[in-house]
Amino acid sequence: MESATTPHISALRKTPLNALHRRLGAKMVNFGGWDMPVEYPSSGGLIAEHKAVRASVGVFDVSHMGDIRIRSGKKPGGALAAVQHISMNDASKLAIGQAQYSAMLYPEGTFVDDVIVHRLGEDDFLLVINAGTREKDVNWVRENTKSFDCVVEDLSDAFTQLAIQGPRAVDVMRKLADADLNGVKNYWFTYGTVCGLKSTLIARTGYTGEDGFEIYVPSDVATSEKVWGHVIEAGREFGIIPCGLGCRNTLRLESKMALYGHEISDKINVWEAGLHRYCKMEKGDFIGRAALERANGAGVKRTLVGLEMVDRGIARDEYVCCNEAGEAIGVVTSGSPSPTLGKNIALAYVPPAFSALGTVLYVEIRGQKCKAQVVPTPFYKRPKKAAAPPVS
Amino acid sequence: MAYPKTYRYTKEHEWIEVKGDLATIGITDYAQHELGDVVFVELPKPGAKIETGKSFGTVESVKAVSEIYAPAAGEVIEANAELQNTPEKINTDPHGAAWLIKIRLINSTGISDLMDAAAYEAYIADKGKEASA
């Protein structure tokens, strides 16, 4: 047996909770240059962690994510103008306390990174970015906001970010936070006291397809471990368990959420990735817009589809998709067994002619052509909350 | 989990138990732990020939694919059919019910050079130290 993930420990970066993960016996891997927990055998491992988030609640250390604050310079309006220029969604539509999924694009209309933009104030924004692209993103944002009257701060090392995810996450947060969470809808945020830490940012966001929260606390080890401990304590009655990046990946894949370097990259544009919904061409100019307009006229050569394996076999990242004749037509960007569905699923780029639901194609697995079928996505959608029982 | 004294072990974390000219092959408890939840196993059919040091199948967890290398050369006489529907048995009983294949040995030279249980336990203890350094 040979493991696919060979750890290279020495140069890896660590979150403030690294020692805690090791004490918990987590299995650690190199994730984009970070020494991160992939699963916790003490939680029952990846599948148990995945199921806990779907059924109840789990907690993730996502402190490797980066944070960029853009606020106004001397005159108001500079930060908003800068954010509008560097991201594809319309930040002017955000209320203070609201967040949106967006992306930063190259002039070619391909991805620098995807990002969650939080509007902290009238002219004050927090962009949460990916771990593997942190330095690249910060440099790119600084470079491309130079001509705007705004201040760019890299706050990535200032926060420990915990994600509390699952249908019972709200119950855990109610116990944990002195804040009114009823008004905090999906993709909104508030501030509250968490473990005695005043003005803690509490956002109803996540990367699992479930209801959930992400909280941002000071990044010293003592505070980070204390908050983690309080989350576990508050979640105990709901069966909360520590969850690693392994199930974070299977959860986001089932929900068809993009992962940088897989579904989106500097080679893939917005139309191909199917992220039109978050790209507001009518908002005015932004980096990448002109290329996207041209690309839209030309039509896409490939498009992202969901696949379900029909034959035995698991499609994995970078496996080749082919047609009946065995000719290569596309490539898998993410593939895995789905713990929720009990099926083997994948996302893949294929020509539009192969994108209709029900289309049969094949994934080459160790030299074998294995049958797969285009299916609707997301693979999993969280059930709508049942209406509260009538009060008599 | 204890490592049976009668087995021999490879650096790639396979075990082999030899009885006369027959041998049973599986992966070790250390290997299943490293892999995590096993969800898929691909094994050769009876009659297939396997060669020492060459891959004869794969074990997949949710996250990763692992090749399994033959500790000895032989002809497959049985593959563990139960693992097709219950691959997770590899996580619970890797040294017993979740054996992978039985072979008729063609050449048993080299088997005695493989690690015994004590040597293998020292080998994986060393790996553990590396990982937490």
Contact A112, A104 (CB under 8 A): yes
**Among chain B residues, CA nearest to A47:** B37
**Range A18-62+158-253 has CATH code 3.90.1010.10:** no
Contact B73, B104 (CB under 8 A): no
User: What are the distances in angstroms from CA B79 to CA B41, B51, B100?
Assistant: 11, 16, 6
Contacts with A47 from chain B: Cβ below 8 Å? 37, 62
The answer to whether the Cβ–Cβ distance between A46 and B63 falls below 8 Å is: yes
The answer to whether the Cβ–Cβ distance between B36 and A9 falls below 8 Å is: no
Q: Which tokens sit at A171? A: 């119950």
ipTM: 0.89
Q: What is the pLDDT of residues A65-124, one digit of tens each?
A: 999 999 998 888 999 999 999 999 999 999 999 999 999 999 999 999 999 999 999 999
Q: Is B58 left (phi over 0), alpha (psi -120 to 50) or beta?
A: beta
What was the pLDDT predicted at B130?
62
Least CB–CB distance from A337: residue in B13, B27, B39:
B39
The answer to whether the Cβ–Cβ distance between B62 and A9 falls below 8 Å is: no
What was the pLDDT predicted at A5?
47
Q: How far is it between the farthest Cα atoms of chain B?
A: 45
A197 touches chain B (CB under 8 A): no
DSSP B67-98: EEE-SSEEEEEEE-THHHH-TTHHHH-TTTTT
What was the pLDDT predicted at A208?
98
SS3 of B7, please? coil
The answer to whether the Cβ–Cβ distance between B67 and A28 falls below 8 Å is: no
Contacts with A5 from chain B: Cβ below 8 Å? 63-64
SS3 of B5, please? coil
Mean pLDDT of chain B: 94
Average pLDDT of span A271-297: 96
What was the pLDDT predicted at A387?
55
Contacts with B66 from chain A: Cβ below 8 Å? 1-4
User: What are the distances in angstroms from CA A382 to CA A54, A92, A210, A228, B101?
Assistant: 8, 29, 6, 26, 41
- Please check the confidence at residue B132 and state whether its pLDDT lies above 80: no
The answer to whether the Cβ–Cβ distance between B35 and A9 falls below 8 Å is: no
Q: What is the pLDDT of residues A49-78, one digit of tens each?
A: 999 999 999 999 999 999 999 999 888 899
Q: B8-132: which CATH topology?
A: OB fold (Dihydrolipoamide Acetyltransferase, E2P) (2.40.50)
Closest by CA position to A279, among listed A80, A79, A111: A111
Average pLDDT of span B49-70: 96
A124-129 and A189-194 as β-strands: parallel, antiparallel, unpaired?
A: unpaired
DSSP A192-203: EEETTEEEEEEE
| CA distance between the termini of chain A | 62
- Please check the confidence at residue A4 and state whether its pLDDT lies above 80: no
pLDDT band at B107 (very low <50, low <70, confident <90, very high): confident
Contact B88, B38 (CB under 8 A): yes
A27 touches chain B (CB under 8 A): yes
**Among chain B residues, CA nearest to A25:** B132
Strand partners, B15: B9, B26
A to B CB pairs, distance under 8 Å: 68
Q: What is the pLDDT of residues A308-345, one digit of tens each?
A: 999 999 999 999 999 999 999 999 999 999 999 999 99
Average pLDDT of span A249-266: 98
Q: What is the pLDDT of residues A190-246, one digit of tens each?
A: 999 999 999 999 999 999 999 999 999 999 999 999 999 999 999 999 999 999 999
Q: How far is it between the farthest Cα atoms of chain A?
A: 65
Contact A64, A150 (CB under 8 A): no
Mean pLDDT of chain A: 95
pLDDT band at B71 (very low <50, low <70, confident <90, very high): very high
- Please check the confidence at residue A8 and state whether its pLDDT lies above 90: no
pLDDT band at A27 (very low <50, low <70, confident <90, very high): very high
The answer to whether the Cβ–Cβ distance between A339 and B58 falls below 8 Å is: no
What was the pLDDT predicted at B119?
97
What was the pLDDT predicted at A7?
47
Tokens 């944070």, residue? A67
Least CB–CB distance from A1: residue in B14, B39, B40:
B14
Measured distance CA(A14)–CA(A28) in Å, rounded: 11
CATH code of A301-380, in short, is 2.40.30.110
- Please check the confidence at residue A392 and state whether its pLDDT lies above 90: no
User: What are the distances in angstroms from CA A253 to CA A209, A225, A279, B118?
Assistant: 9, 29, 21, 42
What was the pLDDT predicted at B133?
46
**Among chain B residues, CA nearest to A342:** B39
User: What are the distances in angstroms from CA A149 to CA A57, A127, A198?
Assistant: 42, 17, 30
Measured distance CA(A315)–CA(A303) in Å, rounded: 18
Q: For chain B, list residues whose CB is within 8 angstroms of any CB belonging to chain A.
A: 12-14, 27-28, 31, 33-37, 39-40, 42, 58-69, 130-133
Contact A266, A130 (CB under 8 A): no
DSSP B43-71: -PPTT-EE-TTSEEEEEEESS-EEEEE-S
- What is the residue type of B51? E
- Tell me the domain boundaries of chain A: 18-62+158-253, 66-154, 301-380
SS3 of A302, please? coil
What was the pLDDT predicted at B109?
80
Least CB–CB distance from A38: residue in B63, B67, B131:
B63
Average pLDDT of span A250-273: 97
A327 touches chain B (CB under 8 A): no
- Tell me the domain boundaries of chain B: 8-132
What was the pLDDT predicted at A44?
96
Average pLDDT of span A248-258: 98
The answer to whether the Cβ–Cβ distance between A337 and B14 falls below 8 Å is: no
How far away is chain B from the Cα of A30, in angstroms, using its nearest Cα? 12
The answer to whether the Cβ–Cβ distance between B62 and A337 falls below 8 Å is: yes
Least CB–CB distance from A1: residue in B12, B37, B39:
B12
- Please check the confidence at residue A136 and state whether its pLDDT lies above 60: yes
DSSP A126-183: EEEE-STTHHHHHHHHHHHTTTSSEEEEE-TTTEEEEEEESTTHHHHHHHHEES--TT
Contacts with A24 from chain B: Cβ below 8 Å? none
CATH code of A66-154, in short, is 3.30.70.1400
Tokens 């072990």, residue? B9
What was the pLDDT predicted at B34?
93
Average pLDDT of span B34-57: 96
What's the predicted TM-score (pTM) here? 0.93
